[in-house]
A and B are shown apart, each in its own frame.
Chain A
Amino acid sequence: MASFDDIDLRTLLAGGKRDWDRFVAAAAPVIHAVARRVVAAHGVSVDEAVDVAQDVFVRLCADDRRLLRSYDPARASLGTWLAIVARSCAIDHLRRRRQSHATLEEVPDSVAAVEDKHVERLNIPAGLLTERQALVLRLLYDRDMDVAEAASLLKVDAQTVRSTHHKAMLRLREHFRVEA
């Protein structure tokens, strides 16, 4: 499988066909995986993932690769950045597609809910928990992640996650005992 390490960003942005082909070979699995997940979440046939992914590539090379030029290799890896950008592009694609095919009333609630911007609030007094502690509780309790998964996401070891969870719960118990 082609690797992002083979990509010379400078020559890619200069517009070389060979560099574009190499970029596509490396990026297609990531973009297609994102597209598959997005179409599945929106209740669209997985067969359309290729069209959605193709639209992402179109956006990447449009306007003299304006979107691709916004990538800063000093900040993040190309693969991760692409995955996030591809998700936004894919959701935009499906939104446009939905607008052209159906009115809002015709969209099933289950599908519309995916775009719901309602935010489920984390009702913890400000400053009681650190950001990391709050996130660990979110991952473990709301997302049903196990410790290893949370540790992998946070780039820490499992013991650190357990410790963070423990300290967070201590603070919460203490706080609510005082308030009660």
Chain B
Amino acid sequence: MSETDPVGSDKDRALWARLKAASAADDVARLPAVFDEELAAWLDGRLPPHAAARVEARLAADPAMLSLALDTRAALHEAAGAPAPDRLVTRAQALVGFEVERQAQSGGSRLGRLGGWWRRLELAAVTGAFLVVCATGFSLGGDLQQTFAGDGERFDVAVYVANPLAESEVNFLADQGGQ
């Protein structure tokens, strides 16, 4: 006990020491658990009496829990007068920046995947267009062929040659060509 504001006597202290050595015990294990939020609420003085009593029973029986409560309170007092290092603030703030970037990257990869699909669509469209052009060209070509074929059937030499050569002239030309 602190000497700054003494309360109790040496006899009280001795009795307390005997109590700690006695056999009868509060078994901390049988006490209900105290969760972080309850302890925080107790430290803030926000718990109703019955809930506060439950937390205090645990604190009285569980030194680890009491240390947690006292450490937390001490840290809160320290924090009020001591700013955090700048590098911690910078690094911690960058966490969300990185997260946003990561999301952007994952979004970018989604865009990339979309881009891939777009390129495939483009390729498919170009291929389709090519096939259409080919088919059209092929069918057009077929029609012309048929047209020419039909024209061939109606080909009349007389249309193109007004005065056909006589047979002797043809033979003469053939002889000249053979030489």
Which listed residue (A17, A54, A119, A158) contacts B88, Cβ 8 A?
A54
CB-defined contacts of A83 to chain B, threshold 8 Å: 40, 72, 75-76, 79
Residue of B nearest to A61 (CB): B95
Interface contact A122-B79, CB-CB below 8 Å: no
Interface contact A31-B62, CB-CB below 8 Å: no
B57 to chain A, nearest CB (A): 4
B side interface size, CB within 8 A: 70
Which listed residue (A15, A20, A140, A148) contacts B8, Cβ 8 A?
A140
If A54-B91, A134-B60, A169-B12 touch, whether A20 touches B44 (CB-CB below 8 Å) is no
Q: Which of A28, A85, A126, A146 has the most CB of B within 10 A?
A: A28
A80: Cβ under 8 A from any B Cβ: yes
A75: Cβ under 8 A from any B Cβ: yes
From 72 to 113 in chain B, residues with beta carbon under 8 angstroms from any chain A beta carbon are 72-76, 78-80, 82-85, 87-89, 91-93, 95-97, 99-100
Q: How far is the CA of A117 from the CA of B28 in the complex (A)?
A: 11
A-side interface mostly:
helix
Q: How far is the CA of A121 from the CA of B61 in the complex (A)?
A: 6
CB-defined contacts of B76 to chain A, threshold 8 Å: 30, 33, 79-80, 83
21 residue pairs A–B, Cβ–Cβ below 8 Å:
A20-B95, A28-B83, A28-B84, A29-B80, A33-B76, A50-B87, A61-B95, A80-B44, A85-B36, A122-B25, A123-B23, A131-B53, A132-B53, A140-B1, A140-B8, A143-B70, A144-B1, A146-B2, A146-B5, A147-B5, A172-B19
7 new A-B contacts, CB < 8 A, other than A123-B20, A134-B57, are A57-B95, A61-B96, A77-B44, A80-B40, A81-B40, A124-B26, A169-B8
B interface with A by C-beta (< 8 Å): 1-5, 7-8, 12-13, 15-16, 18-28, 36-41, 43-46, 53-54, 56-57, 59-64, 66, 68-76, 78-80, 82-85, 87-89, 91-93, 95-97, 99-100
